[in-house]
Amino acid sequence: MGVWEYEDFAAAREEGKLRHVCVTGSWGLLSSWLVRSLLAKGYNVRSTVHTTAEEAKELMALPGAKERLELTQADLMDYGSLAEVFMGCYGVFHTASPSDLVSNYPPEMIDWEVRGTLNVVEACANAAVKRLVLTSSLSAMVWDHQRTPGACIDEKCWSNLDFCRSKKLWGPLAKTMTEKAAWALARDKELDMVVINPAIVLGPKLLTSRASIMNYLQGMKELPQSGLFAYLHVEDLAQIHISALEITKASGRYICYERVVSEFELVELIRKLYPERSVPSRFSKSGSPHVLTNQKLQTLGIKVQQV
């Protein structure tokens, strides 16, 4: 896979040399913060995120948006429209990711997500994009009943597809299949791609709404592994995506989380944040946190804040 050599980004921003980056995907917590963070750092941004008129107005009200934000249209199922939008961009962020990867994921969306992401990879390669930053998920790593208890989950780990199918874990299945397909095509096309594998993302969606732990837990039948509940703040995740574009030595996959809590800690957190709600019985037991590591992310000098 090719190595991207580019002039220092800080100097480029000072000299006004930065060209366009593109943010694709669906309107959501990450995409909204990523657009805001990119504008704040001086980037010229194209966004193909589908928004309502109210959401578009909200985006265009961000500092720098009138001068450096272009809202455009591209269909993930239409390779040609993607290639056209990516032309002239040296960086693309593909953030299409369901907010709830465990419950309520329609199985018929799996093929759409895989094919859409492959179109993005193909279009990036043919449009001479220098680096694609793809948002995957920690759920593409943790669901494996064959893993030795207590074994550390790192960037070499993958969720077991057969296990996901047997448990009807369509979200993790989609993320695992999508990421594996994207890696295969990126290597074939010699496209420089970095993949971000975040845990549960918390934080405000710009000014209008707030991601909720309870939203994630609604309908969730079980935790991925014994006691596994990891999270991070969306502002950190947006900055991690930008660093994955800017830092030349970034490569491969990156697990992103702030901390892992046990089921007991999770119950106490729910009671503290939502005292008026009852705790789901499936989380009312004590458990030991599974072992995760974000050591690879730390080698880039990236630290995440306390949520």
* Under 8 Å between Cβ of 74 and 87: no
Task: Please list, residue by residue across 25-37, b when 16 or more beta carbons sit within 10 angstroms of its beta carbon and e when fewer do.
Answer: bbbbbbbbbbbbb
For 261, the 3-state DSSP assignment is: strand
Point out the catalytic residue in the list 175, 189, 221, 272: 175
175 is catalytic: yes
The DSSP bridge pattern shows strands 209-210 and 252-256 to be: unpaired
Contact 55, 35 (CB under 8 A): no
Distance of CA 141 to the CA centre of its chain: 14
Residue 27 CA to residue 49 CA, distance in Å, equals 6
Residue 301: CB atoms within 10 A of its CB come to 8
Number of helices and strands in the chain (H, E): 13, 12
The neighbouring-strand residues paired with 70 are: 46
Burial of residue 56 (number of CB atoms within 10 Å: 0-12, 13-18, 19+): middle
Q: Chain-centre distance of CA 172, in angstroms?
A: 13
Alpha-carbon dihedral angle through residues 274, 280, 281, 287, given to the nearest 10 degrees: -80
Distance between CA atoms of residues 96 and 133, nearest Å: 11
CA distances from 137 to 56, 96, 231, 253 (A): 26, 11, 11, 10
Contact, 136 vs 175, CB < 8 A?
A: yes
Catalytic amino acids? 175
